[in-house]
Every structure is written in structure tokens, then in C-alpha cells.
Amino acid sequence: EGGLLATFKGKMEEQIILNELYRGFSESPKVVWIGLDRLEDHKTYKWIDNGVIHENISKNMIFPDDHECTGYNPNSQFVTPMPCFLLNNYFCELR
């Protein structure tokens, strides 16, 4: 019934998400929301399910104060801190 924003724990899971994005959209979206949250120290972030962050994602990305959410750019395959009020596509995983 419910789901969480998608997480990916390694390159293989990241590739699965990329494949689904390209299959589900006529054009690749510029950014999709993913399940990465900023911690209170404003310097680090974690997956919403407390999973391990894999090597392609910096563990110490600094979020500007108004950038509480995290987007994933499927074209560059970069994670980007963003303000949560932006309207972006999202990818969920069922639990």
C-alpha cells in the first residue's frame, strides 16, 4: 500500500532505477526525487531506510540551508541537494 522514495545501495540498483526511468518516460526527466535525507549537522545525509551510501555518492555533501531534499539527475548520474518545494518526478519502492 505504501512506499518510500527510491534508494540505491550500489551501482546495480542505480542501473535498475535508470532503466526504469528510461522505460517509463518518453524523455529522461532532468531530476527525480530520491530517498536521501539531510542530517541535522547540515553536512551529511543518509538513505531514508538507513541503508549504506555507495561510493558514487559523496557522504559529506553540504546542503544549503534551504535544500532539505535530494534529487537524482539520471543524465549526469549526480545527486543534487534541492529545495523541497520544487515539482519533480519521483521514483518509489514498495515495502
How many domains does the chain contain in total? Answer: 1
Q: In CATH, what number is assigned to the domain containing residue 18? A: 3.10.100.10
Q: Is 73 exposed, middle or buried (0-12, 13-18, 19+ CB in 10 A)?
A: middle
54 is in which domain, residue-wise? Answer: 3-94
Q: What is the pTM of this model?
A: 0.73
pLDDT in tens, 33-65: 888 887 777 667 788 887 766 555 655 455 666
Which pLDDT tens digit goes with each residue over 9-22?
A: 777 888 887 787 77
Separation of alpha carbons 5 and 33, rounded Å: 7
Where are the extended beta strands (E) located within 8-74?
32-33, 36-38, 45-47, 69-73
